[in-house]
Amino acid sequence: MLDDLSNQFLPSTVGGLAAGAIFALLALGYTMVYGVLRLINFAHSEIFMIGTFASLFVLTTMGVTGPLTGFALIGMLLLMLVVSMAAAGGAAVLLEQVAYRPLRKKGASRLAALISAIGASLFLQEFFALVVIPAVFDKAGRNTTGVPRLVDRDVVFTIGNANVRTDHIIVIVAAIAMMVLLDQIVNRSRMGRGIRATAQDPEAAVLMGVNIDNVVRMTFLLGGAMAGVAGMLYVMEYEVTQYNEGFVLGIKAFTAAVLGGIGNIRGALLGGFALGLIENWGAIFLGSEWKDVIAFIVLVVVLMFRPTGILGESLQRARA
């Protein structure tokens, strides 16, 4: 057991950071929507799934069949990033308008919104399995879809016995950069002030001239865009997607949001990386087949002993 720990600890740490970066990006959507509306958007996992297929569409349309290098790689990554963010962000805005806004306008309970979220999640899964995937990709909708390798797995440097590859660096750096950008938007822009004001006191925000509908729309757009980035990085790293690819990953991202402090943008970053590391370290002792179980155990433990999460600060208390 100690030999396994010494041999696998550093490689598992690198892999955990890469997985945690994707968890963190996806967790941002949960934490932003909850911070503003006190709603757990369980359909957010399907927004991530849409981001994965948007990236696959770009690769298929551009005829990519093997790894790229240099400016070709940079250009393809940027194109995938833009298309995935646009597709996922647009889908998130449409989801809010169809599934949540009518309920909010009628003053429906949070339970009704939660049921609507579950229904929207199942609808999007089946719509992609039965319609989108067969029509666009000419594949059986419920089968796993492979993604062409975009980045060579070249070893850039080593830390002990851990190889840090090109794809690891791209995933981690891109995720951190996008989360820093989002944090700056929320804390420094006019729209960010509107988001924080709405999260703190919606009635007072309306009296101060804040358009709640625009704020909610922007919240879903930003959260969806981050899910699109997560989807792009996911297919680049794991080279696979499926109509229900976001289901388990979405629950893990929700766990990361709770772990870091749901409603806290920086908490989502911390919770995502922490969950990725905990999963991979736990797999050293229990085996990789226990990774999903470990994530859910973390969720239960956090809810029992630290329900406010590590940081325990919501979007409502973000600095003005």
Identify the helix (H) or strand (E) that includes residue 155. Answer: strand 155-159
Beta strands in 197-286 (DSSP E): 240-241
* CA angle in degrees (0–180, nearest 5) for 68-233-145: 80
Chain Cα centroid distance, residue 141: 23
Phi first, then psi: give them for residue 159, nearest 5 degrees: -125, 105
- pLDDT for residue 56: 95
d(CA 126, CA 49): 12
- pLDDT for residue 6: 67
> How do residues 253-272 score in pLDDT, each as one tens digit?
999 999 988 888 888 889 99
**Strand, helix or coil at 240?**
strand
> How do residues 53-73 score in pLDDT, each as one tens digit?
999 999 999 999 889 988 999
* CA angle in degrees (0–180, nearest 5) for 299-303-309: 90
**Strand, helix or coil at 158?**
strand
Chain Cα centroid distance, residue 285: 27
- pLDDT for residue 264: 83
Tell me the pTM.
0.91
> How do residues 7-47 score in pLDDT, each as one tens digit?
788 889 999 999 999 999 999 989 988 888 888 899 999 99
In the chain, what are the domain boundaries? 2-143+156-317
d(CA 248, CA 54): 20
Backbone Cα Rg of the chain: 19
Q: Which residues of the chain have pLDDT under 50?
A: 319-320
- pLDDT for residue 98: 93
**39-49 burial by CB neighbour count: b if 16+ within 10 A, else e?**
bbbbbbbbbbb
- pLDDT for residue 193: 86
- pLDDT for residue 319: 46
User: Is residue 160 within 8 Å of residue 10, measured between CB atoms?
Assistant: yes
- pLDDT for residue 320: 40
Give the CATH architecture of domain 2-143+156-317. Orthogonal Bundle (1.10)
